[in-house]
Amino acid sequence: MKVPTAAGGLSTLPADRRLFRELYYRDTPRAVRYRYALLALDAVTLVFIVATSFTARTWVVEIADVLLGLVLAAEFVARLRASPAPWRELAHPATIADAVAIVCFVIPYLGAVAGFLRALRVLRLLRSRRVVARLRRDFPAFQRNEDTIVAAADLVVFIFIMTGVVYETQHWSNPQIRDYADSLYFTITALTTTGFGDITLPGRTGRLISVVIMFAGVTLFLRLAQSLFRPNKIRFPCPQCGLQRHEPDAVHCKACGHVLNIPDEGG
């Protein structure tokens, strides 16, 4: 997404929009700290959702739900204010899922019923060119293992979301699903097609959920395995043809023969 520069009209924006565009789209030190703080906020949110599934819905938990929801809502508004195309941003599936999760947090009666959808933010961030470029610069291990880390994140987020779906659709009526631990246990046994049978999801809805877990989960698991066992390559765009992946010791691009100058720390 192209962001206007100062020469292109950024200086004419309101002060809050200039600040938010810096935080979301530029590479200043405070913008980098802000985006890492957002990653930490997402992690705290997911831990909170899991932890509260083991506790009763007391007034303390409900107040914590609302406070967390207000923080997430403030970040949501800031993201829309930062976007050069707010309506397009609002129509993005991940943004819609985020809005649903926030509504569930701020209405205590709902009990954060769809809060687990916040996990989709992790996938979106790991597909953001700015976030990924920054992770490559700050963490050499991420650059070396980017495909494996992204594939693992896809699988973990899928497991988390399906665990949330199982929990929210079953714990009201299925005595075998009491908390996220039971839901996670069922999700893993279904994903691996082990199917011990001590926990089952009754009815047509339960069967459909089981099918989705098995079909999509196995696909993501195979993708992770492929990235683990595929020969390690360096991600470096060829200046001539744009080929992204090369052998670690490559001197020329195998697609067009252009000379590559892949940065090397030596050793």
What is the pTM for the complete model shown? 0.70
Computed over every residue of the chain, the mean pLDDT equals 81
| Mean pLDDT, rounded, for 30-57 | 84
Q: What is the mean pLDDT of residues 138-142?
A: 80
pLDDT at 74 exceeding the cut of 90: yes
224-262 pLDDT, tens digit per residue, is 877 777 656 677 788 888 787 777 677 788 888 888 877
Q: Which of the 8 DSSP states describes residue 235? A: E
**Predicted local confidence at residue 1, as pLDDT:** 43
What string of DSSP letters covers 159-173?
A: HHHHHHHHHHHHTTT
Report domain extents, the chain.
1-144
Per-residue CA distances from 109 to 58, 59, 112, 121 (Å): 11, 11, 8, 24
Question: Cα dist. 47→60, 83, 263 in Å?
Answer: 17, 28, 38
Residue 265 binned pLDDT confidence (cut-offs 50, 70, 90): low
Mean pLDDT of 4-20: 66
**Cα(233)–Cα(10) distance, rounded to whole angstroms?**
39
- pLDDT beyond 60 at 3: no
Query: Does residue 112 have a pLDDT over 60?
Result: no
Assign 111 a pLDDT band (cuts: 50, 70, 90). Answer: low
pLDDT confidence tier of residue 7, bands split at 50, 70 and 90 = very low
